Each structure stands twice: as C-alpha cells, then as structure tokens.
Amino acid sequence: MRFRTLKELAQVCVNEGKPIYRIMLEDQAKESGRTPEQEWDKMKSYYGIMKEAVMKGISSDKTSRSGLTGGDAKRVFEYTRKEDSSLEPFTGMAMAYALAVSEVNASMGRIVATPTAGSCGVIPGVFVSSQERFGWTDDHMVEGLFCAGAIGYVIANNSFISGAEGGCQAEIGSAIGMAAGALVELKGGTPAQAVHAVGLALKNTLGLICDPVGGLVEIPCIVRNGFGAVNALAAADMALAGVQSAIPSDEVIQVMLEVGSAMPDIHRETARGGLAQTPTGKQIIKQLAQDKKKSRSERKEKENDDESHK
Ligand code: SF4
C-alpha cells in the first residue's frame, strides 16, 4: 500500500489526482496479485450480499436463535415513515437498514463483515439508503466500498477494529468512520473532507465499551448499528459543510488505540462487565442457560425414544 495513515492517503490522492477509491483499488490489486477487474467484481458481489441482507432483515419478524432479538428493523422502518417520527424518512431508513443487517447476522444469515460481523449493519445502512435516495448505480456504491476499505485498512493498521481488542469503539466506531468517509467521497467531497469525516465520527465513539449480553452479538450490538448509521450520516454532512476535525484524524485513531489498550478486560467482549452484568443482563444469561439445558435434555429424550422404537 502507498499509505499507512489517512494523511498519507489524502496526499497520494492529491499527488495522483485520483479519489480514495481508485488508490485503494489499485493498491489492493497489486497486493493480492489479482487484476483490478477481479477486485472490482469481488467487491460488487459483497455489495449484492449487503443489499440482500437489508431486504431480508427489513421484511422479517423472525427472532434470533436465542430468541433475544428480531423484528426491530421492521418496526423502525414502519415507524419512521409516520408523520410523528422525529427523524425524516431517509435517516430513519438508514437506521432501519442497519438494524436489518445486524438482525440477519444475529439469526445466522449471510452478511459482510464491515469491518467485523458485530458492526456489519452500519455501512449497508448508510449505503443502501443513500443509493435509494440519490439514485446511484451499483458501480458507484462499489467505489464507496473501496473508499471505506481504505479507511478501515488505516484504522486496522494503527489501532483496533475488534471489540475484543479495543472495545466497541473499535467495531462500531470504525464502521461509522468508514461509512462517513466513504459517503463524503460518494457525494463528491474531497479526500481531505473524507478524512475529516473519519476523525469527526471516531471522536464521537471514543471510550465505547464492548459488553454483549451473554457474549451474543445482539444486545446492545444491534441497536448500536442503528445509531451508528445515523452518526455516519451526521459526520459526513458536517465534513461536507466544511467542519474539520480539529484533532487530526490520525491522532484520533491513536487515541482509540490508547483508550482501547487501557480498557479493562471486563469491557472487551468478555461479557463480564457493562450491560452484560446488569441485573437484567444476568437474568437473561441465566434464562439462556436454562433454555439450553432444557433443549439438550429434550433432544436426549427424543434420541432415547427413537432408539427404543428400533
Ligand atoms: S458490543 Fe462488542 S460485540 Fe457488540 S457490536 Fe460492540 S464490539 Fe461488537
């Protein structure tokens, strides 16, 4: 790669007179040994999976295997179309789509990790809703995915992108930064503006802990994806309006590393702290364990029955 930081990325873009997505596409092809066309096709297939997940999640009442979550995407999608919704429909749609993909993940459906499965809803939420709103082509969206990929590459190489390493700021935070920067470029913003959007977005999630109830990527992960999509839209708008990240985005990424490294283990995906250890969180974990035990003994009983009828 010709860049390791966002500053270097923006500089390469200026030097070569190319957008971020183009630099990423070229460098990724060089590194993988595949042609840019092959890289493009692969990314386009990922976008297809994202759209499928949005459509599946938005129309489903199905609960997750644990029974803890499901159907919220559909609820939000319907509510935000009503007049009394506080969000205008487009923003509500981004939020609903992000919830949808995250619910599909919780029910073991097909998603694309962007950058992880836990944060898989933010980018599709922002991308698919923006495509519908602005009438963009799939190819334009693929450009956006390469741009998001470049941002994710920088974050991953300088900080964290997983909750186990750096808390939820590393998963949901990174996804918001990637979506915000990419949306700026999709809307015609400069590489410098896209980089500012990343910093603006990441600052807003610094310190966010990873505390999934029962260790399942459901509570609070799914709603955090929904909020994440809304934050990404806001960060992109701020950057396009000319707001700059006073602390350079690369320095914000370093702060994420510092904060994540200082985070206690109980707040890094172990489910030993935060929401996972509230009285209700503990009750949910207890209930899940009982349900598991019950279904195990029912299965065993059935196996014994089948055996005795042979
Ligand atoms: S709480 Fe943890 S598992 Fe859930 S989305 Fe955040 S980082 Fe991922």
Position 300 in a domain: no
Can you give the pTM of this predicted structure?
Answer: 0.95
Instruction: Supply the pLDDT for residue 238.
Output: 98
Atom 6 of ligand 1, residue of closest alpha carbon: 168
Instruction: Give the span between the Cα atoms of 177 and 195, in whole angstroms.
Output: 9
Enclosing domain of residue 160: 6-277
Atom from ligand 1 closest to the CA of residue 168: 7
Distance from the alpha carbon of residue 122 to the mean position of ligand 1, in angstroms: 12
- Residue 244 tokens, joined: 């700059």
Atom 1 of ligand 1, residue of closest alpha carbon: 210
What is the per-residue pLDDT across 226-270, written as a single tens digit (0 to 9) for each? Answer: 999 999 999 999 999 999 999 999 999 999 999 999 999 999 999
For residue 159, is pLDDT > 80? Answer: yes
Atom 2 of ligand 1, residue of closest alpha carbon: 210
Position 133 in a domain: yes
Ligand 1 test: best mutation among 155, 172, 268, most atoms within 8 Å of CB?
172
Position 309 in a domain: no
Position 23 in a domain: yes
What is the per-residue pLDDT across 73-86, written as a single tens digit (0 to 9) for each? Answer: 999 999 998 889 99
Task: List Cα–Cα distances, 300 to 65, 289, 294, 296, 303, in angstroms.
Answer: 20, 17, 10, 6, 5
Ligand 1 shell residues, CB under 6 Å: 118-119, 163, 168, 171-172, 210-212, 217, 220-221, 224, 269
Q: How many Cα atoms within 13 Å fall on the side-chain side of residue 167? A: 23
Position 288 in a domain: no
Burial readout 24-51 (b: 16 or more C-beta within 10 A, e: otherwise): bbbbbbeeeeeeeeebbeebeebbebbb
Distance from the alpha carbon of residue 81 to the mean position of ligand 1, in angstroms: 28
Domain count, the chain: 1
Position 20 in a domain: yes
Position 203 in a domain: yes
